[in-house]
Amino acid sequence: MAIMRPVLRRVMHVLFVLCCGFKVGSAQTVTLGVLEDVRGADAGEPNSHKVRVLFKKNVDHWEAFPSNCPDQGCLKTVSSKYPREVVWTVAFDGRDIGRITGRTPKEFHFYSHVGLQEVISAGPVPTVGKRSAEYGGSTDASVYRPLVAISQPFFEDPDSWKVSQVSSGLITLLRKQFRKQYPKLCRASKQDEDKLEPFSYHDEDVSLAKSYASKKGWRAARLHLAEAIACDDVEAGFEIDDPWFVITPKEAVQYLDAGMWLVDAGDYDNDGKSEVLFSINRYNIGGYELFYDDFKRRATFEFNYH
């Protein structure tokens, strides 16, 4: 038995590598980013295309690269934790629309530039549509729509997420969950805009701003209520960010997050199920949130503008 133990350990090790090694190795090589149209840092400086490196797949979970730098010292050193150079597949709506190469600089000069790679490949950079302030975040800059960039050619959307309508019955469920998420709201006082007063609203005041559905029966919806302010907001005048809710195929409704918009969906780790990527658009906060595993898990890449 003493002679067999080392042999058995070696056999078990080989079996582990054969069974699991490929899966682990391939997962670790998948990096997800976004091709952005970045506004010039100074007045008169033109926009430039850059790839923001966001997430990497580690075995069974997505992990965000370090993003929320607290000081200039972090900006000077954190780039060492990013991949030096990546050849990206750019995708939109489950389609391959081009290839580009990005290179990480030695340091990032602005908090909002954390994770941004310079595009060093020759040729045109893929874009979709026209520039719009809708994609500029809290800067309100007019830029092209962000596009998914993936280090492996995993861009198809097997769940087939599309813009979709929501039935009146589901809207009722969404409004009920909205009240549960925000049991107490206020609004700016009519007599003194620097003060808040309780805000009583009707269900029909909560409108459906945007909704998507997958072929597997999942839905994601963004709701809007004008004038609504969190009652603990010490600075009156900042309305709550539009919240997102997800509806399961069994019509259970759960809150996702607020202050974001849906960028794209795709099977970015090639596991047969789509991930859903949102862009964060909150006051002085930008970044991205990646939802996966039927919205049970998420990874967040978040930064401040200043």
- pTM for this structure? 0.88
Q: Which sign does the torsion angle of CA 101, 105, 109, 110 carry?
A: positive
Residue 236 pLDDT? 53
Give the separation between CA 186 and CA 219, rounded to whole angstroms: 29
The shares of helix, strand and coil residues in the chain, as percent rounded to the nearest 5, are: 20, 40, 40
Tell me how many degrees the CA angle 94-132-56 measures, rounded to the nearest 5: 40
Closest CA to 116 of 149, 144, 90, 93: 149
pLDDT under 70: residue ranges of the chain: 1-28, 233-237
Residue 193 pLDDT? 81
Unique residue bearing structure tokens 């004038």? 227
Give the separation between CA 179 and CA 182, rounded to whole angstroms: 5
Average pLDDT value over all residues in the chain: 89
Unique residue bearing structure tokens 């750019």? 90
CB 75 within 8 A of CB 107: yes
Residue 238 pLDDT? 80
CB 266 within 8 A of CB 286: no
8-state DSSP, 189: -
Query: What are φ and ψ of residue 203, in 5° steps?
Result: -55, -40
Give the separation between CA 241 and CA 95, rounded to whole angstroms: 31
Residue 233 pLDDT? 67
Query: Which tokens in the block code for residue 299?
Result: 């990874």
Query: Which tokens in the block code for residue 205?
Result: 């005041």
